[in-house]
Each structure stands twice: as C-alpha cells, then as structure tokens.
Chain A
Amino acid sequence: GQQLNQSPQSMFIQEGEDVSMNCTSSSIFNTWLWYKQEPGEGPVLLIALYKAGELTSNGRLTAQFGITRKDSFLNISASIPSDVGIYFCAGQLNNAGNMLTFGGGTRLMVKP
C-alpha cells in the first residue's frame, strides 16, 4: 500500500545533539501522527497534529503539521540514549475510518 516518504532512514548521533526528521506525501491528510517503536514493542503515540500549521511540543519533542497538509516534521532536542528507537510518521484522513498511512520509519541511534 501507499507509504509516506520519511527521511532520513537512519541517524547515528551523539548524545546531546538535536534531531530532525520529516515526512512528505503526494496527498493531503487531516491528521499527522508521530509514533516511536522500541525493539519488540508496538508503536507508542508521541504527538498528534490535527490542524494545518499546528506546532505541538511534548517535552523535548516538537512536531509541526505542514501548511500544505502534505508534510510534517519531528524535532528532538538534546537527545539522550533512551531516545533510541524507530520513529514513524503517519497520516490520517477523517473520512477513511481512521486508517493510517505510515512512513518507512527513521531509525535513531544515540551514542552516549
């Protein structure tokens, strides 16, 4: 099925650095979501964005819903080792029964 274009695919950074990842789509979405998945676990919702242009923070995480509704980014500031995992973006259409379209994921590795 369709996937969102998520980049980068992987990042290996030093503890304390800031991280940025983004997702783009050829079609619009009404909602953008960011999930984190750790090995052997299901995805955990980090941030949900419901309005074009919306900028939302959750601790050290900040995400924005692009004004065109076709993109979103997630920033992590001052990374720590427990930020390690795979981050997925997902787009949702309100009239699609809450179905999600996922990005390919960004694998984040943090060096202490």
Chain B
Amino acid sequence: GAVVSQHPSRVICKSGTSVKIECRSLDFQATTMFWYRQFPKQSLMLMATSNEGSKATYEQGVEKDKFLINHASLTLSTLTVTSAHPEDSSFYICSASNSHTQYFGPGTRLTVL
C-alpha cells in the first residue's frame, strides 16, 4: 500500500518551454501533497505544500508564478515549471500524505537545455 507515482520520470526540454509533472497517490487518498526539489548530493528542499481544492502554500524563495501547483483531486497534484531555464534543472520529488506519514514518488529528473 501507499504507492505514489510520478510522471514523467525524466524530461528534457528547451529553455523557455513549460513542463508539467504529475503526482498520483495510487491506493490512498492524500489530503496533502508536497513538492520537493533535490540538487545532487543534497537533501530534499520543500518547495510547496498543497491541499486538495485550495491554493498551494509556497516556501520562502520559491516563485509561485514560476512553479504552478494544482491539486485538483485527492489523488492528483501537478507541478508546472513555466518558462524553464537551465538553472531549473533538478530532481523534483512529490510526496502524498495520509493522516500520518508522507510517501514519496520516484522523482522526475528535469533537464533544461
């Protein structure tokens, strides 16, 4: 149980384009979903927290207009990186939370050329 999927697993895009990443909780309803980014050899950095049907709460320093988060249902959240630039290249990981614990997706490797 508690399986979280992410799609795509990796994406390469040109600078200036937008990229959408999906996060799904497959076997449970997630009241809250979280989006992280991780740079090589570093820990996970929380970007934003989203609750179904409401606006996401962004961490300090994360641009909400650049990283659009939609949490349309209890099993799906999306992160859209708008007008991507090479410095946005990173490993993006989502997690879904039941009442107690966060379960992580497998991550999406974004490379912006």
- Alpha-carbon gap, A41 to B108, bound state (A): 9
Q: In the complex, which range does the number of interface residues on chain B fall in?
A: 20 to 34
Given the interface pairs A98-B32, A98-B97, the reply to whether A42 lies near B102 with Cβ below 8 Å is no
CB-based contact B59/A41 at 8 Å: no
CB-based contact A97/B32 at 8 Å: yes
CB-based contact B46/A48 at 8 Å: no
CB-based contact B45/A42 at 8 Å: no
Total residue contacts A-B, CB cutoff 8 A: 58
Considering only CB atoms and an 8 Å cut-off, how many residues of chain A contact the other chain?
A: 23
Given the interface pairs A97-B49, A98-B97, the reply to whether A44 lies near B104 with Cβ below 8 Å is yes
- Alpha-carbon gap, A104 to B95, bound state (A): 18
Given the interface pairs A40-B109, A41-B107, the reply to whether A88 lies near B97 with Cβ below 8 Å is no
Closest 7 CB pairs of A and B: A42-B104, A98-B97, A42-B107, A43-B104, A42-B106, A102-B43, A42-B93
Interface positions of A (Cβ within 8 A of B)? 1, 3, 31, 33, 35, 40-45, 48, 50, 88, 97-100, 102-105, 107
- A and B contact pairs by CB, cutoff 8 A, 20 listed: A1-B59, A31-B100, A31-B101, A40-B109, A41-B106, A42-B6, A42-B93, A42-B105, A42-B107, A44-B104, A45-B103, A48-B100, A88-B44, A98-B97, A98-B99, A98-B100, A99-B49, A100-B34, A100-B102, A102-B43
